[in-house]
C-alpha cells in the first residue's frame, strides 16, 4: 500500500520547522535529516522504497520551508542536534531512528552519541563526522568566522532569471547533482524575488565555522555510539576518495557498524531511481527491525 507524502509544521520554542512525512502513522519512527543547503526533498526518491517506516523529513533550520534563526543566533552542529531532539519530542517519539545524509548524518551521530537512550538505529549516507581541525588552528579560524559574521550583511544572493536557470546552477554546484535531483531540491528551495528567483536558504549557513571538532573529538563521538549503524559510502562521493577520512575510519572500532560501498555520487539516493533503490536495499530491513 502506498502512502502519499504530506506536509506538517513543528513549532519549537525558538523556531518553526517544516517537514515532509512519508509512510503509515503506525510505522517505525525515523527522523530524516538532509545535507547542507539541501532540504526535505532529499528523501523524495528514497522514502517510498523504505516500507513500514514513519519517516519525518525535516527542513532543517534555515533550509527549505523552515524558519530562520533569530538575529545573533547561528547554525552550529549542536544547534541542529537540539532542533532534532525537540522536534521528536513534539512528535511524541521517546525513541526513534535517524536517517541522515551528509550534514544530516553528522548531526545524527552527535545526537546518538550524546543521548544514546533515545536512538534505535542510525542509517547514514556519505556522512559520519564533520571536517576536523586541530587546536592550534582554532584562534585563526575563530577570527575568520567572527569577521565573516560581522560582514554577513554584505553577502548577496544570486538571482536567477528562471527556475530552469536555478536548476542548471544546482546541477553544476559545489556538490554536483543530476538534473532530477536539482529539480526536486529547487521545488522546495527556491523563492520568487524581484527580478527572478533565489535560494531561500539563510545566507548565514555559508559562513565559516567558529570552532571545529578535533580528530579526538570526532573519534569520541563515533566510539560513543551504542546503537547499530549502517553507513553507505558513495564510491564517487565526498568521503571514499579522501585519504584522511579513510585513515580516520581505520582508527575506529566498527563493531556496531556495517559499511556499504555503493556506486554513485554524494547524492546517490537522490540522483536517480537506481541510486535510491541501491541505498534502500542497504537500509530497508535495517530500519524496519524492531
Give me the active site residues, please.
102
CB 290, CB 28: distance < 8 Å: yes
CB 215, CB 135: distance < 8 Å: no
C-alpha cell at 27: 510505522
Contacts of 44 (CB under 8 A, 6+ apart): 5, 20, 184, 270
C-alpha cell at 102: 551528509
Cα–Cα distance measured from residue 74 to residue 207, given in angstroms and rounded to the nearest whole number: 9
CA distances (Å), origin 107, targets 28, 49, 149, 185, 231: 20, 23, 22, 20, 14
- The rounded Cα 50 to chain-centroid distance in angstroms is 18
CB 124, CB 108: distance < 8 Å: yes
Which residues are bridge partners to 175 per DSSP? none
SS3 of the chain: helix, strand, coil, percent, to 5: 40, 20, 40
CB 74, CB 83: distance < 8 Å: no
Cα–Cα distance measured from residue 196 to residue 200, given in angstroms and rounded to the nearest whole number: 13
Amino acid at each position: 500500500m502506498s502512502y502519499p507524502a504530506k506536509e506538517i509544521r513543528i513549532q519549537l520554542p525558538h523556531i518553526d520547522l517544516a517537514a515532509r512525512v512519508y509512510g503509515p502513522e503506525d510505522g517505525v519512527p525515523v527522523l530524516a535529516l538532509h545535507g547542507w543547503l539541501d532540504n526535505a526533498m532529499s528523501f523524495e526518491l528514497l522514502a517510498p522504497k523504505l516500507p513500514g517506516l514513519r519517516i519525518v523529513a525535516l527542513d532543517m533550520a534555515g533550509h527549505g520551508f523552515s524558519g530562520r534563526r533569530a538575529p545573533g543566533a547561528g547554525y552550529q552542529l549542536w544547534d541542529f542536534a537540539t532542533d532534532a531532539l525537540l522536534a521528536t519530542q513534539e512528535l511524541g517519539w521517546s525513541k526513534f531512528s535517524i536517517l541522515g545524509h551528509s550534514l544530516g548524518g553528522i548531526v545524527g551521530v552527535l545526537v546518538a552519541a550524546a543521548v544514546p537512550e533515545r536512538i534505535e538505529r542510525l542509517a547514514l549516507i556519505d556522512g559520519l563526522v564533520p571536517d576536523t581541525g586541530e587546536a592550534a588552528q582554532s584562534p585563526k579560524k575563530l577570527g575568520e568566522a567572527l569577521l565573516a559574521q560581522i560582514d554577513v550583511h554584505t553577502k548577496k544572493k544570486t538571482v536567477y532569471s528562471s527556475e530552469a536557470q536555478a536548476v542548471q546552477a544546482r546541477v553544476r554546484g559545489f556538490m554536483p547533482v543530476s538534473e532530477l535531483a536539482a529539480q526536486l531540491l529547487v521545488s522546495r528551495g527556491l523563492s520568487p524575488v524581484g527580478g527572478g528567483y533565489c535560494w531561500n536558504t539563510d545566507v548565514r549557513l555559508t559562513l565559516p565555522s567558529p570552532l571545529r571538532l578535533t580528530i579526538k573529538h570526532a573519534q569520541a563521538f563515533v566510539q560513543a555510539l551504542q546503537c547499530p549503524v549502517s553507513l553507505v559510502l558513495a564510491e564517487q562521493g565526498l568521503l571514499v576518495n579522501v585519504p584522511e577520512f579513510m585513515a580516520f575510519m581505520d582508527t575506529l572500532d566498527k563493531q556496531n557498524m556495517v559499511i556499504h560501498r555503493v556506486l554513485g555520487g554524494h547524492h546517490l539516493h537522490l540522483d536517480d531511481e537506481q541510486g535510491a533503490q541501491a541505498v534502500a536495499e542497504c537500509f530497508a530491513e535495517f530500519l524496519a527491525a524492531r
